[in-house]
């Protein structure tokens, strides 16, 4: 079946049962640009579902920095496919929807049974009121240029919440280079929950120049994300693809 902007009646990610980490990582989408069939990484995104549609959430700064088309790298059976989101927007009349103040941007995301993707429903996201300092969190990111692999494979990196300035979250879980827009997870005994979307790295300098700076990652909590995908622009686009 060809890709569709409208998802089926059930969320792609199941809830209420133990789910392997490998399943949660299917919500992670490597993003970049490409020319002449060569894909170059530039960022990442995370998928959420608000029935009957799926949304891609990522970094507004990253998307605006790209000079070529925005393309997702997706597993497809035993191989992979490059999904040109810019071309999809042009053909369907859709466009990115961005937050006026925060480093957030979203797009409706087409789905296909052949793609190995999952998405978080709102009940699988962490309300900001449940977050606190020192709470363990996990970031996801692809270590591009470090380990030779045939396709991007996200690593899981541990840390904790260092500070909360809602909706901003500062954490010691690192944001790897070329992974802006990647998810920040709150791990649990049975399920990972989505805590936020990683935006940038902050360096805290040491007084001694021989000592490397402390690295913190900044993420944006989920409340502004859900506000964005349920705003006026998003409702109009949902109506357009639903026919």
* 178 Cβ contact list (under 8 Å, min separation 6): 32, 41, 42, 43, 142, 144
Best CA proximity match to 46, nearest among 58, 36, 34: 58
What is the average pLDDT across 70-94? 89
Strands of the 28-35 sheet, one edge to the other: 79-84, 71-76, 28-35, 38-50, 53-58, 105-108, 97-98
User: How far is it, in rounded angstroms, from Cα 22 to Cα 43?
Assistant: 20
Confidence (pLDDT) at 3: 65
Confidence (pLDDT) at 18: 66
Average model confidence (pLDDT) across the chain: 90
What is the average pLDDT across 196-215? 90
Per-residue pLDDT tens over the stretch 171-197: 999 999 999 999 999 998 878 999 999
Asked whether the beta carbons of 198 and 139 are under 8 A apart, the reply is: yes
DSSP state, 8?
A: -
What is the average pLDDT across 148-166? 90
Name the pLDDT band for 8 (thresholds 50, 70, 90): very low
What is the average pLDDT across 142-161? 87
Name the pLDDT band for 164 (thresholds 50, 70, 90): very high
Q: How deeply is 168 buried, as exposed, middle or buried, from its count of CB atoms within 10 A (0-12, 13-18, 19+)?
A: middle
As given in the structure block, the two tokens for residue 155 are: 């690593």
What is the average pLDDT across 158-173? 97
Confidence (pLDDT) at 6: 65
Q: Is the pLDDT of residue 84 over 60?
A: yes
Per-residue pLDDT tens over the stretch 98-135: 999 999 999 999 988 888 899 999 999 999 999 999 99
Q: Strand, helix or coil at 90? A: helix
Confidence (pLDDT) at 213: 86
């Amino acid at each position: 079946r060809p890709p569709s902007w409208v998802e089926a009646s059930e969320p792609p990610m199941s809830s209420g049962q133990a789910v392997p980490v490998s399943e949660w990582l299917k919500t992670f989408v490597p993003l970049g640009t490409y020319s002449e069939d060569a894909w170059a990484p530039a960022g990442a995104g995370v998928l959420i579902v608000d029935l009957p549609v799926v949304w891609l959430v990522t970094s507004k700064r990253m998307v605006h920095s790209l000079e070529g088309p925005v393309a997702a790298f997706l597993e497809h059976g035993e191989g992979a496919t490059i999904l040109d989101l810019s071309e999809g927007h042009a053909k369907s009349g859709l466009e990115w929807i961005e937050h006026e103040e925060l480093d957030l941007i979203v797009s409706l995301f087409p789905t296909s049974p052949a793609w190995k993707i999952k998405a978080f429903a709102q009940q699988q996201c962490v309300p900001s009121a449940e977050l606190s300092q020192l709470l363990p969190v996990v970031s996801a990111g692809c270590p591009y240029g470090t380990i030779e692999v045939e396709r991007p494979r996200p690593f899981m990196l541990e840390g904790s919440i260092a500070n909360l300035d809602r909706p901003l979250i500062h954490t010691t879980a690192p944001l790897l280079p070329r992974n802006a827009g990647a998810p920040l997870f709150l791990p649990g005994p049975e399920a990972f929950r989505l805590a936020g979307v990683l935006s940038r790295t902050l360096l805290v300098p040491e007084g001694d120049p021989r000592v490397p700076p402390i690295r913190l990652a900044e993420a944006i909590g989920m409340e502004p994300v859900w506000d964005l995908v349920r705003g006026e622009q998003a409702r109009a686009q949902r109506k357009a693809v639903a026919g």
